[in-house]
Amino acid sequence: MTAPSNAEPTLARPVQLHFRGDWGQANMHRICGWIAQEIGDRAPDGSRFAIWSGRGGTDQIDALQAGEADIAIVTPTAAVRAVFDGAVSIGGRAAQPNLRALGVLGQRDRLVVAVDADLPVHSVSDLSACADRLVIATSEDDGVNLIGWAAHHGLRLAGADPESLRAGGAQFRYSERPFPAIHRFATGEANVLIHEAIMTPAWQRIANTRPVRYIDWGTKVFDGFSAFGWPTAGIEAGFLPGLLQPLRTLDFSDFAIVCRDDLPDDIAYLATWCMIKTRRALEVQYAHFPSDHSPVTYPVDPTAMADTPIPLHPGAARAYTDLAGDTGDGQILIWS
């Protein structure tokens, strides 16, 4: 790294960095592109940057451990903590203590259970009593998709084991991403929805064809997730269509920017420096959303960025210290 203490840092050597984002059209790819461009502006000729498509789940961690990615993004951050310390096994994985964080970018999200109001269901455990009437739209529990893992784990803790539901006649309709599942519920193809991405317009259409009911996961589920550090969170009345009172549910928030502990210190420092210093370049891409419905929370707060679910990489920690109180740069932004 070359730069006086009061100057912009740059890399002294060409680098080749591999980022791992989402399927290609969502927030993780956008975040990866932002970081890669900002590092690239401060790296010498010959540097190369690639963004690989991923799924945003445990596949990101696998890619880091295999050396296929240098920096990856995972959501929700609660799952990153679970993978790091091994308090619960996701997809059979053991603890992975060599993971480090560069920061967290906010996304206010929840894992919500919604049902057709005609069903005699007022708790998740009630699903078992009417299994033969259920078509459940969610994601598959394949050891990678964290939506599917959390949904199935929650069902088990609630006493509505997915295999028992199937044996009783329930059908599961799986999709990798939220929107096919939300559409199935909105159009009546499914009568139970267990999913996230609640800030998106798709959730505002789920009650267009019939009344819906939102279900509290229940104390057993909340306690079971809390045991390995996965928090609960609330949704205020009116945020979702037909939600007449506040709902307590499972948190599904935030993007963790993750690496291994052997990522070179100067790269970790510069990547984090860029996220802090050029954060307006990301914020402005979401400014057309109301702040409480934005897929990425804005304004980006460096103090919140540094509050990571796993230890910060030492280079990242130094960047947060060096830029404490920074208000961002005044660059001319592409999207403003």
Q: Per-residue pLDDT tens for 164-192?
A: 999 999 999 999 999 999 999 999 999 99
> Do residues 103 and 198 share a domain?
no
**In-domain check, residue 10:** no
Chain centre to alpha carbon of residue 242: 25
Q: What is the DSSP letter of 150?
A: H
Phi, psi of 26 (to 5 degrees): -115, -165
Residue pLDDT, tens place only, 85-135: 998 999 999 999 999 999 999 999 999 999 999 999 999 999 999 999 999
**In-domain check, residue 81:** yes
- 111 beta partners: 250
Q: How confident is the prediction for the chain on average, in pLDDT?
A: 95
Task: Report the C-alpha gap between 74 and 134 in whole angstroms.
Answer: 31
SS3 assignment, position 294: coil
Residue 280 sits in a domain whose CATH number is: 3.40.190.10
**In-domain check, residue 90:** yes
Residues 272, 292, 51, 147, Cα dihedral to 10°: 110
Residue 262 host element (H or E): none
Final residue of a structural domain among 197, 221, 251: 251
Question: pLDDT band at 330, cuts 50/70/90?
Answer: low
| Long-range CB contact pairs, 34-38, < 8 A, 24+ | 34/278, 34/281, 34/282, 35/71, 35/257, 35/271, 35/274, 35/275, 38/274, 38/275, 38/278, 38/281
**In-domain check, residue 333:** no
Our count of domains for the chain comes to 2
Final residue of a structural domain among 234, 251, 268: 251
Sign (positive or negative) of CA dihedral 28, 31, 35, 36:
positive
What pLDDT does 6 receive? 56
> Do residues 117 and 98 share a domain?
no
User: Is residue 231 scored above 70 in pLDDT?
Assistant: yes
**In-domain check, residue 143:** yes
Task: Report the C-alpha gap between 334 and 331 in whole angstroms.
Answer: 9
> Do residues 247 and 260 share a domain?
no
> Do residues 115 and 241 share a domain?
yes
> Do residues 242 and 139 share a domain?
yes
User: Is residue 2 scored above 60 in pLDDT?
Assistant: no
What pLDDT does 297 receive? 95
What pLDDT does 327 receive? 83
Final residue of a structural domain among 219, 251, 283: 251
**In-domain check, residue 1:** no
The CA–CA distances, whole Å, from 166 to 83, 134, 171, 326 equal 29, 9, 6, 54
> Do residues 121 and 242 share a domain?
yes
> Do residues 225 and 303 share a domain?
no
- 113 beta partners: 194, 215
The CA–CA distances, whole Å, from 150 to 51, 127, 170, 261, 270 equal 27, 17, 19, 27, 34
Range of the domain at 210: 110-251
> Do residues 44 and 144 share a domain?
no
> Do residues 133 and 182 share a domain?
yes
* Cβ pair 228, 220 in contact under 8 A: no
> Do residues 246 and 299 share a domain?
no
**In-domain check, residue 4:** no
Residue 257 host element (H or E): strand 255-260
**In-domain check, residue 7:** no
Angle between helices 58-65 and 77-85 (to 10 degrees): 50
> Do residues 180 and 278 share a domain?
no
> Do residues 211 and 130 share a domain?
yes
Task: Report the C-alpha gap between 316 and 278 in whole angstroms.
Answer: 15
What pLDDT does 331 receive? 67
The CA–CA distances, whole Å, from 305 to 161, 199, 253, 257 equal 36, 20, 13, 10
Contacts of 67 (CB under 8 A, 6+ apart): none
